[in-house]
Structure 1
C-alpha cells in the first residue's frame, strides 16, 4: 500500500485510507502509537506501555492469588 506524505505546519503527516482507519478502529482525532519491532515500525491503536503494565499486573495477580483473596475478605 502506498501512503502519501503531506506537510502539516512544520511537520509531515501521513494520509491513511479509510479502510486502514477502519481496520485500526480509529477515527479523526484518535491516537496511534508507533512501535519499533525487529520487523520494522508498526502502527497500533494500543498503548504498548499500558499493555506491559497490564501484563505485569496479571502476572502478579496470578502469583499472589491467595494473598489477594485474603485481603478481599
Structure 2
C-alpha cells in the first residue's frame, strides 16, 4: 500500500505519487488516470473503464460475425 498526499496546486488540488510508484506502474507525467468508485472505496487505474467495456462488446461482435468481417476485409 502506498500513501498518497493531496496538495494545493494553484486553484486546484493535486495528488502526489512517489517516483518509485510511478516506475512500478510504468506511469509518467502527462498520463491519464481514472478514479472510479469501487466497493469499500475507490479505484485509481490508467485504463479507461468505458473503453474496456466497448472493447469487450466489440470482441463479442467480432467473434459472432467472424465470417461477415472476413468477407468485408477482402
The TM-score with structure 2 as length reference comes to: 0.82
Q: Residue 14 of structure 1 corresponds to which residue in structure 2?
A: 15
Matched, 1:65 2:66: yes
- Unmatched runs of 5 consecutive residues or more in structure 1: none
- Unmatched runs of 5 consecutive residues or more in structure 2: none
Superposed, 1:25-36 pairs within 5 Å as 25-36=26-37
| Superposition RMSD in Å | 1.5
The TM-score with structure 1 as length reference comes to: 0.83
Matched residues, number: 73
